[in-house]
Amino acid sequence: MKKILILSAICLQFLVAHRLYAQDPAFTQFYASPLLVNPAIMGASDDWRTSLCYRNQWGSVNSGYTDYDFNTSCPFYLKDPGSKLFVGVALLDDKAGAYGLMNGYISVGYNKQIAEDQNVCLALYGGLGQLALNTNGLTYDDQYVNGSYSSATPSGEMAVSKAIMYPDAGFGFTYYYNPSQDKSKVNFYAGISGFHLNEPNQSLDASVSTLPIRMTYLAGLKIFESEKVDISPNAMVTTQAGNIIAAAGAYCTYKVKDDFNLTLGMWYRANDAIPVELGIEYKGFELGYSYDMVTSTLDAYAMGLNANEITLAYKFARKKKEDSTPMIGSNTANTPSAPTTPEGGSFPFPEF
């Protein structure tokens, strides 16, 4: 029995160390990191939005995974009625044992109104990634003497520190239907995104180890139950190197005041976890906390495999110029000096 537990622990450490080769880091509050899920999502927004995300997972196994993400996206007015541009930036820092991954992306998107209350958005992204291996902080059996660890004791192992930098590219596409609430109580959206389309080489030696293409399919509704309550059921499927992650769940948002909202969310990720989340929005600030309860069989072999995630975001409201076109998705009515673009509804995606 003892040998089985030791072997299980070794396997878990192996999975942690090689996770970066298998699939990308993933966040539970994926709408808080839209450029890492589908960069076209932000085409529906009228606001300049910036977010920070911290995630810690499997903390009891070789320090687990620690992820930091920065996302920012800003829309720009266009003279052409029913269209706009947006630019986004995403920075990701992912650590798993001796491995470290850093990515930086720039995304440019174009949003076009194709019919009344219906829009499509196409976004392209490009950037650089760096995968690094640093064994200087690792400990070895030879450094334990009589049950006590000493960093001064030679391990007999050779310290390795290597890194490789590579280009990365991908796209995002989204369709969304967002009429004003006096027309319809339901918004709808669906999208597809592809990452690492150039399949960059991540090998730290002379061999070839390509980063597999990741495809993400996302769809959902935003249902306005009343003036104070809206429900956002959604589903997402991600495929990469034969791995399939399927998740479904819903957000429920309660408007306490005009500038104060409370959000509760829950999902189910097949053969993985049940995440729950609590979010608060106040005067443009958004704070979210989520906790993943592991449901996979790995939970039987090690404790502390659950995940904690915290996000902080702020929306800078974009004020419309008097002689400009109302932005798509805006709640602002048409003005006499503006072209007669149909009045849109709210941002169709969940805020967390």
Put simply, whether the predicted model's pTM sits higher than 0.85 gets the answer no
pLDDT at 98: 78
What does the domain layout of the chain look like in residue ranges? 2-139+157-316
- Secondary-structure class of domain 2-139+157-316 per CATH: mainly beta
- What does the pLDDT profile of the chain (352 residues) look like in tens digits? 333 333 333 333 333 334 444 468 888 898 888 899 999 998 888 889 999 999 998 655 556 789 999 999 999 877 887 899 999 999 999 988 778 899 999 999 999 999 999 999 999 999 999 999 877 666 667 767 766 776 667 666 655 668 899 999 999 999 999 998 888 999 999 999 999 999 999 888 878 889 999 999 999 999 999 989 999 999 999 999 999 999 999 999 999 998 899 999 999 999 889 999 999 999 999 999 999 998 876 655 555 578 899 999 999 876 554 434 344 333 333 333 333 333 456 677 776 5
* CA-based end-to-end distance of the chain: 44
| Chain centroid, CA 54 distance in Å | 11
pLDDT at 44: 86
